[in-house]
Amino acid sequence: MNVLIAEDSPSDRMLLKLHLEKLGHSVYEVSNGIELVQHFYEHSEEFDILVVDLNMPGKSGIEAVTEIRKHQGSYAANWIPIIFLSGSDAEDDILKCIEAGADAYLSKPIQHKVLLAKLIAVTRLAHMRQELLAANSQLEALSTTDYLTNLPNRRAFEHTLRDEMAKARRHAQMLSVAILDIDHFKQINDTYGHDGGDLILREVSKRLMASQRSGDVFGRVGGEEFGLILPHTNAEEAKIACERYREVLSTEDYHYDGHIIKLTVSVGACKFDNDISQLELIKRADVALYMAKNTGRDKVVI
Ligand code: GH3
Ligand code: MG
Ligand code: MG
Ligand code: MG
Ligand code: MG
């Protein structure tokens, strides 16, 4: 286990570290409550167990642990096992520590087997937390990834767009957005079946990814529609980038079940302006796409 210990007394800290290392754990040390909160927030998921001294200058163990447990919504913080450490055997102190969010209480001087026993108990909790964190990140991946193409789905795409728009505003940077739509895709489905259509969608995603300009973000935002985020890109550069993606997708034939399939795509793009909303930005790209569709397809309109 990776154990973060917070203890202000250097000699107690050293002793505790020796005990823990003897039991095969990796130890990281801080010397007060302020450092504990800060270090834990920055590396929550790297630690499995916290061992916290009750009395420390600046911020006490109880204050620090109360703060950590209040970090609502973070599984990493809510479920980290915490062992309190104190020179006091007072009933009130034991109760206060557990109430603040500790899972075990250990009095100093440390008795090796008592420490071992408490560690065995909280290691069970630590394993449960690890499973919770893993399940949570799996869920996160599932809820943001399009299962057919493995691209970010619409939700993830819009989330990234929101972040990129905020960045562009904050740093006065260029940004463009595009929607790329396969032309007459319905015909492909009608001719080769839904499986043929699916294969095309996967192949289009693959070719997009293979030709991805560094920093560009793609997402599958509709059935046969892909969203493109082009950071640091003005309208002129967006036109060039989108033309390149259009060409990449339409130059080489696609192959399905012995058939040779040709396709083209239309792209509507739009540059970001400081006072534009996300909805409006997408709408403008959509209007441009509509123009591309109505003026012959197989083109980029910006
Ligand atoms: P346009 O050039 O105007 O874009 O014509 P289109 O045929 O591409 O557009 P339309 O919106 O008429 O048809 C899109 C089709 O995409 C209809 C829908 O059944 C199909 N589609 C949507 N999602 C999927 C999918 O996941 N797999 C497959 N195979 N087809 C899909
Ligand atoms: Mg102390
Ligand atoms: Mg289409
Ligand atoms: Mg259509
Ligand atoms: Mg469409």
Rounded mean pLDDT for each run of 10 residues along the chain, 302 residues in total = 96 95 96 95 94 95 94 80 94 94 94 94 95 92 97 98 97 97 98 97 98 97 98 98 98 97 98 96 98 98 97
Residue 74 pLDDT: 79
Whether ligand 1 lies within 6 angstroms of the CB of 203 is answered as: no
User: Which residues keep their CB under 5 angstroms from ion ligand 2?
Assistant: 8, 53, 55
Residue 55 pLDDT: 94
Sequence-separated (6 or more) residues with CB below 8 Å from residue 139: none
Strand partners, 4: 28, 50
Whether ligand 1 lies within 6 angstroms of the CB of 224 is answered as: yes
Whether ligand 1 lies within 6 angstroms of the CB of 181 is answered as: yes
Residue 73 pLDDT: 66
Whether ligand 1 lies within 6 angstroms of the CB of 256 is answered as: no
| Separation of CA 238 and ligand 1 centre (Å) | 25
| Separation of CA 224 and ligand 5 centre (Å) | 5
Burial class (CB in 10 A: 0-12, 13-18, 19+), 22: exposed
Catalytically active residues are 224
- E strands in the chain: 2-6, 26-30, 49-53, 82-86, 104-107, 175-182, 217-222, 225-231, 254-256, 259-261, 265-271, 300-301
Residue 78 pLDDT: 85
ipTM above 0.90, yes or no: yes
Residue 227 pLDDT: 98
Strand partners, 52: 6, 84
pTM surpassing 0.95?
no
Ligand closest to the CA atom of residue 191: 1
Whether ligand 1 lies within 6 angstroms of the CB of 167 is answered as: no
Residue 72 pLDDT: 66
The protein residue whose alpha carbon is closest to atom 22 in ligand 1 is 223
> Among 242, 225, 251, 245, which Cα is nearest to 302's?
242
Residue 253 pLDDT: 97
Q: Please state, in angstroms and rounded to a whole number, the distance separating the CA atoms of residues 204 and 182.
A: 9
The protein residue whose alpha carbon is closest to atom 19 in ligand 1 is 186
| Separation of CA 292 and ligand 3 centre (Å) | 11
| Secondary structure letter of residue 153 according to DSSP | -
Residue 149 pLDDT: 98
Greatest Cα-to-Cα distance within the chain, rounded to the nearest angstrom: 83
